[in-house]
Amino acid sequence: MSEQPACTVVVPTYNRSGLLRHTLDSLCRQRLDTGDTFEVVVSDDGSSDDTADLVAGYRDRLDVRYFFQEDEGYRAAEARNAGIRHARSEVCVFVDSGVVLHSGALAAHLAAHRETDTPTAVVGYVLCFNEDNEDGRAITEALDLADPDASFAEFTAQRRWLDIREDYYERYGEDLDALTAPWLMWWTCNSSAATRLLREVGGFDEAYRSWGAEDVDLSYRLRTAGARFVLRRDAAALHIPHPKSYEANMRSAAHNYRYFAEKYDTPVAHLVPHHHFHEIEDILRSRGLADGPVTDRFGTVIRPIDRMDAEQAAAAPPQAAATPQPAADAPAATPTTEDAPMTPLLGMWTWKDREARRETPRVLVFSPHPDDEVIACGGTIARLAAEGARVGVVFATDGAMSHSAVLGIHTDPTPAELREIRREEARMAAKAMGLSETAARFLDYPDTRLADHLPAFRRDVLRILGEHRGVTDVYLPHEVRELNADHRLTGETVVSCLEELGLTPTLYRYVVWDERTEEEFGFVTRNPADGPGTGGERLTSFDIGPWVPQKHAAFREHRTQVELYAPKQTRPVVPEPFQERVFAARTEEFWIAAPDADAPAGEGK
């Protein structure tokens, strides 16, 4: 090995030898440029398990050193500082126990630092990070620890369990150094910085003695010291699931961010305890606290829910509007009559929202084909997204036969081409409704032939529901009133799987395909109903007025269905009379269980 390694990998740990093993295994697979080597510093925060023996077992494969500090409570900051202190290289790469690096990750970190003479802080990409281990079982079953690079490729291609910062990158772009507060995205589960600069700014603040914020505190100082921030997707890692407490972590983070705000006492620091990271950049620009004007990316987006709050505040009695306003550098509150137009917010969570997040709806929408989700539920999805609900959309079939089955057009586009086009349309429709593109999940069963694949489809539905056992609301095609075969079978299968798993979310059954739809489309594909009768339920109507523009925008994203897309078309797949009904609707209707019959129509979550 060379006298001086190219980088030092700092791994803090505490009683997680099983997870640490996977991290060390991934380090054994690293592929660096010729002449480059790396070292590993495992910094133990007082483990009582076999961590020391485990690390010793890797000394024949890794240049690894082990440092131990007594168990005096949570001292991850001090453990990481030990790694910085003992580093023999110019770059420190921080990863956590249970983080599995892609074989090219360290080379990507080093490349980012070598591209410029400016001190650099690298934000690595992290798949499979979840807040409450909610997808833990599914991730564990899907993850190939014998060949993690294959899992990287599979999950990325399927857009499953992507980095939870994706919506931030989507909103602001990937040039982090152009932002005012890129340090908010520098997380020590996979990041790096110049060793010299880490030491100059004082390393991690060891006053952080519980989970959260010590990395943000350090990255804040790296930025003020002139560090350039860079996102490297190729510096990729997988976060292996493990038990954790979302509520405990949020309580700890809230305390630590208050300390952060008091410590630095700057306008941006005071935003951190009360706003989600994803909205702070927008607030800075909209309030004139950041360099640069308000643009189409910064300082312009107002959620429908924020607009409604502002309108309600404007209509409030004078005494309510007279509430003293906070100082300019105080944490932002709910918009009031005076400041609402000046403080537009992104449609993201504030920290205080996140404390209550587990009380908000967790919603799954099952859509037989791409576009049914918008037709049946588009306004409701937009409302739920604006209110902060977790919403996922599951597409049963690939929709590839819309032109062939309905219009008799088999080429230009072919079904195979149409499948990929409609997938992208569904992602864009999700964005229009206020969801992340990753909210869309595609099972890709053959359009018009779901009946031929029911066992596999059922297994997939069971798996998805198993991953979302906390689901509170399910929107699905009515298993009896729907006439289209794919629609009906989607509803039947979801209801059956919910019963098998013993899950009891509120069900909102919708109908897209009835006799009128058949007549307008000129297309019939039915199968006999296999579910119960239609007794014991009532039809309820939801006002979607405030969210109609988003529904319309989402519907228009399904261009293959609503436009003359193919050269041979003489009419859209979705007939104009049907489109007119969608665009004219100001309500959405769902069949719900009869025990709610005493509730006033139009109420819902």
DSSP 153-220: HHHHHHT-S--TTHHHHHHH-S-GGGSS-GGGG--TTEEEEEHHHHHHTTSS-TT--SSSSHHHHHHH
State which of 210, 232, 248 marks the end of a domain.
Answer: 248
CA distances from 366 to 253, 376, 461, 551 (A): 35, 11, 10, 17
Residue 331: closest CA among 386, 257, 222: 257
Domain final residue, candidates 248, 263, 294: 248
553 domain residue, yes or no: yes
Quote the CA–CA distance of 352 and 475 in Å, as a whole number.
Answer: 28
- pLDDT tens across 506-527, in order? 999 999 988 898 888 887 777 6
Q: What's residue 275's pLDDT?
A: 79
Q: Which pLDDT band holds residue 343 (cuts at 50, 70, 90)? A: very low
Angle of CA points 22, 194, 237, to nearest 5°: 25
Task: Look at residue 187 and tell me if it is in a domain.
Answer: yes
Per the domain annotation, does 126 fall within a domain?
A: yes
- Structural domain of residue 173, as residue ranges? 7-248
Bigger pLDDT: 603 vs 535: 535
Residues 426/395, Cβ–Cβ less than 8 Å: yes
Taking only the tens place, the pLDDT of each residue in 50-92 is 999 999 999 999 999 999 999 999 999 999 999 999 999 999 9
CA dist., res. 519 & res. 581, Å (int) = 14
| Same domain assignment for residues 372 and 493 | yes
Domain count, the chain: 2
Q: Is residue 306 situated within a structural domain?
A: no
Residue at 420 is within a domain: yes
Residue 25 tokens, joined = 């295994």
Secondary element (H or E) of residue 444: strand 440-445
Q: Does a structural domain hold residue 88?
A: yes
Are 365 and 240 in a shared domain? Answer: no
Of 436, 13, 438, nearest to 189 by C-alpha is 13
- The CATH number of whichever domain residue 572 belongs to comes to 3.40.50.10320
Q: What is the pLDDT of residues 144-180, one digit of tens each?
A: 999 999 999 999 998 888 998 888 888 788 899 888 8
Residues 390 and 513 in one domain: yes
Does residue 361 share a domain with residue 233? no
Instruction: Using the 3D structure, point to which of 248, 282, 307 is the last residue of a domain.
Output: 248
pLDDT reported for residue 325: 32
**What pLDDT score does 293 carry?**
57
Residue pLDDT, tens place only, 86-124? 999 999 999 999 999 999 999 999 999 999 999 999 999
Residue range 394-437, pLDDT digits in tens: 999 999 999 998 889 999 899 999 999 999 999 999 999 998 86
- Summarised one tens digit per residue, pLDDT across range 523-534 is 777 766 565 555
What's the whole-model pTM score? 0.54
**pLDDT for residue 113:** 97
Contact yes or no for 253/212 (Cβ under 8 A): yes
**Quick one: 144 and 11 in the same domain?**
yes
Taking residue 339's Cβ as centre, other Cβ atoms within 10 Å add up to 16
Beta bridge partners of 91: 194
| Domain assignment of residue 282, yes or no | no
Q: List, as one string, the DSSP characters of 81-128.
A: HHHHHH--SSEEEEE-TTEEEPTTHHHHHHHHHHT-SS-EEEEEEEES
What average pLDDT score do residues 488-498 get?
Answer: 96
The 3 state secondary structure assigned to 498-519 is HHHHCCCCEEEEECCCCHHHHH
Task: Note the pLDDT of residue 545.
Answer: 92
Residue 472 resides in a domain: yes
User: Residue 193 and residue 83: Cα distance in Å, rounded?
Assistant: 13
One DSSP character per residue, 46-87 reads S--SSHHHHHHTTTTTS-EEEEE----S--HHHHHHHHHHH-
- The CATH number covering residue 79 comes to 3.90.550.10
